[in-house]
Chains A and B, each alone.
Chain A
Amino acid sequence: MVDSEIILQTDGLTKEFKGFVAVKEVALKVRRGTIHALIGPNGAGKTTCFNLLTKFLPPTAGHIHYKGAEITRAAPADIARMGLVRSFQISAVFGHLNALENVRVALQRRLATSFQFWKSERTLDQLNGRAEELLAAVGLQDFRDYLAIELPYGRKRALEIATTLALDPEMLLLDEPTAGMGHEDVGRIAQLIKKVAKDRTVLMVEHNLSVVADLSDRITVLARGEIIAEGSYAEVSRDPQVRQAYMGSTDVEAGHG
């Protein structure tokens, strides 16, 4: 029934907040191995949509299928165990753990010793090699002993990506990966996303349209909770409805969120 090319699919996905419809009958199909962007003006329901997909919010109606299995009622931690891992809009690091420990927390779940309060944390040292590799992959090899809270913003996001990659997820959901970043950091993170997306599927919400244009294979445009257009960047940027939706909030051609 479900196309194996489609890794994530929603039908009629709807979320109402006390009479206000934030997301309305969204039918989204994400192809395996692609970078798929979800864009739209402020208040279009992108983040709500994201929270529905990762189970941080329960939908009012509709269904979500991931790899052919229905996950509409699954718990958020279980989604992560199935290989669908999200990032957050505000950088989500563990502030008072150092960079190495941040990545290691993600790695240690597989050891299945995480409830063992009588064991020394030195038993986690076997994961340090892998954690250092992941830090190096995002250019943080010199920061392993820094507390995450001490890192500059762009580095925090890189650390977050390294932590996410530690789970080796099949599919990444990135919530505004370049939000609040300086120009230099944006370029670095975009490169990083390209690199990690090589053998994965990525669905991202992104405001920076030059990043979207550069990275995405396919783009879905949301406005007022509904899908108004879908296609390649060239296609959606020509769509009159999209141009109208963006008018006054963001200039599509200028390419800055």
Chain B
Amino acid sequence: MTTLHGATAATGDSGRAQIVAFLIMTGLLIAAPAVIYPIFLMKALCFALFACAFNLLLGFGGLVSFGHAAFLGTAGYVSAHAAKEWGLPPELAILGGTAAATLLGLVFGLIAIRRQGIYFAMVTLALSQMVYFYCLQAPFTGGEDGIQAVPRGMMFGFIDLRQTMTLYAVVLTIFLGAFLLIYRTIHSPFGQVLKAIRENEPRAISLGYRVDHYKLLAFVLSAAISGLAGATKSLVFQLATLTDVHWSMSGEVVLMTLLGGLGTIFGPVVGAFVIVAMQNYLAQFGAWVTIIQGAIFVICVLLFRRGIIGELGRVLKKAL
């Protein structure tokens, strides 16, 4: 997958460019609800976080997972169930959903991590299909109906999430916090080793690194953040459904990441916004949305392999 990386030379001023880009992104997201429907923005933010988590694994760890929907969906079910049936406050519901996805990630990781490339991808796909069929049959998920009318409640006892703008502020905070955590992970001692493994796994082994442990940690982190996205999403929509555990969701996150720019910092965010916007505004075309998405994917792979942000970074000669 190395050839698809959007990363260009890690020159000194890329750091500054990334700070500027982060400030612009934050500014836009704070101002956005004034002109754009906030529920749409929150949906896009949840998917952006999901795509960032996926990008951490693929873009920086070189691991292709086709089973990430399992983490998004499971966390959604668990937090919806916790909020509705157990009456937990939203912060604990989100925490519970995230913890469930983290554990599930650990199980997936332990089983899949010894396999390479396409075999790794297939094992994750198979495991996520098992999760899907479990969610379809299990009584607490509500089967085809899902879990509906999930209460948003009061966060920490005083933040009223029933107010849309308050909810937006909370979702934005969660998004930015997790985004910064991913950024730090990429630029940490762990991130350095992870990138080395992505670049040349046998060499990393020959330097004495037990690469499976690093891959497993990357996988669990990615699953945890995917879970955070899923848990947040279920509170925003007050709904947890089979859509989020379906394999097509695992495919969608690949599309978002590649469209925005694999291995870039901001690419997955842009990719997620583009895809969510398309689904929203092209909804009138019905089934054609899938075909339009497919066409865009083909064009992306053929014409700008680095993705939107990857190509932008190349033009600006900065790693974004």
| Bound Cα distance A95, B200 (Å) | 8
**Chain B contact residues: over half helix, strand or loop, or mixed?**
helix
Please pick, from B11, B189, B206, the residue contacting A108 in the complex, using a CB distance under 8 A: B189
- B233 on the A face (CB < 8 A): no
Among B126-134, B191-199, B251-259, the stretch that binds chain A is B191-199
- B188 on the A face (CB < 8 A): yes
Are B193 and A108 in contact, with the CB atoms below 8 A? yes
Interface residue count for B (Cβ, 8 Å)? 34
| Bound Cα distance A106, B221 (Å) | 24
- A145 on the B face (CB < 8 A): yes
| Bound Cα distance A114, B217 (Å) | 11
Among B32-40, B156-164, B171-179, B208-216, the stretch that binds chain A is B208-216
Closest to A86 in B: B206
Please pick, from B7, B181, B193, the residue contacting A96 in the complex, using a CB distance under 8 A: B7
Please pick, from A101, A124, A150, A167, the residue contacting B207 in the complex, using a CB distance under 8 A: A167
Are A117 and B196 in contact, with the CB atoms below 8 A? no
Are A117 and B2 in contact, with the CB atoms below 8 A? no
Shortest beta-carbon distance, A115 to chain B, in Å?
6
Are A115 and B213 in contact, with the CB atoms below 8 A? yes
Are B189 and A94 in contact, with the CB atoms below 8 A? no
Given A96-B5, A97-B199, A108-B193, A80 and B217 touching (CB < 8 A)? no
Are A123 and B189 in contact, with the CB atoms below 8 A? yes
Shortest beta-carbon distance, B72 to chain A, in Å?
21
Are B190 and A116 in contact, with the CB atoms below 8 A? yes
Please pick, from A94, A106, A108, A123, the residue contacting B200 in the complex, using a CB distance under 8 A: A94
Contacts of A33 in B (CB 8 A): none
Given A104-B192, A109-B207, A88 and B202 touching (CB < 8 A)? yes
- A254 on the B face (CB < 8 A): no
Please pick, from B189, B196, B206, the residue contacting A124 in the complex, using a CB distance under 8 A: B189
A interface, CB within 8 angstroms of B: 54, 56, 75-78, 80-81, 85-88, 92-98, 101, 104-106, 108-109, 111, 113-121, 123-124, 145, 147, 150, 163, 167
| Contacts A94-B204, A109-B208, A167-B208 known; 5 new A-B pairs at CB < 8 A | A96-B5, A116-B190, A117-B185, A119-B189, A119-B190
